[in-house]
A and B are shown apart, each in its own frame.
Chain A
Amino acid sequence: GAGVSQSPRYKVAKRGQDVALRCDPISGHVSLFWYQQALGQGPEFLTYFQNEAQLDKSGLPSDRFFAERPEGSVSTLKIQRTQQEDSAVYLCASSLGGQETQYFGPGTRLLVL
């Protein structure tokens, strides 16, 4: 079956631009997670949704980061006024429930120049 998909796969932005990253979770998965993976590091948690409710956004590094999942399916991570330190791979994962196994998408590699 179809896995988690993310788009775009690669994004180059100039410093100060806004970007939007999309995640399509596995159909029927209630829970959706965003992680940020810096080069050579493990992924770090950003935020978590259960259906359309954002239950945990403790990992968002600043108020420039915003995530939404308005209909409980597709999610968008938006980064405003991008900075060079935002350069990373942004991973989306989904699971049937909050305690179930998380399945990851291929990620969006963001490069801020």
Chain B
Amino acid sequence: GNSVTQMEGPVTLSEEAFLTINCTYTATGYPSLFWYVQYPGEGLQLLLKATKADDKGSNKGFEATYRKETTSFHLEKGSVQVSDSAVYFCAPKNMGRRALTFGSGTRLQVQP
């Protein structure tokens, strides 16, 4: 089955700092890759996705590139805001299995 390794949090940054949250995965075949975000008190929301190698998903200033050779899908943002404070989950999904496999999540705290 799939497995996901995310960098441990919390990650604490000052506003306007550069963000990287690492994610590596193991999966059979070529999964689709997702980043979900969970803001305080809210449900999981899709942040971005990529469905094939070298695809770049992007949304709200966040980006992640599907790297098949390194089985990675690192999340980046050039300038974080206080409102980005949340827990971020990396999740691969195989074509043959419909369920998402989530990492343990990385908590991001952005200080003004």
Contacts and interface: CB of A to CB of B under 8 A. Distances in A.
A33 to B, nearest CB: 7
B30 interface: no
Contacts, number: 54
B98 A33 contact: yes
Which of B34, B95, B100, B101 lies at the interface centre, i.e. has the most chain A CB atoms within 10 A of its CB?
B100
A66 interface: no
Which of B4, B99, B102 lies at the interface centre, i.e. has the most chain A CB atoms within 10 A of its CB?
B99
Given A35-B102, A103-B46, 4 more contacts: A33-B100, A42-B105, A98-B98, A106-B43
Interface string A30-74: 010101000011111100100000011001000000000000000
Contacts of B105: 40-42
A31 B98 contact: yes
A89 to B, nearest CB: 9
Contacts of A104: 36, 43-45
Q: For the complex, would chain B's binding face be called helix, strand, loop or mixed by DSSP majority?
A: loop
Interface of A: 4, 31, 33, 35, 40-45, 48, 55-56, 59, 91, 93, 98-99, 101-107
B102 A43 contact: yes
A106 B42 contact: yes
Contacts of B99: 33, 45, 48, 56, 59
Contacts of A45: 99-101
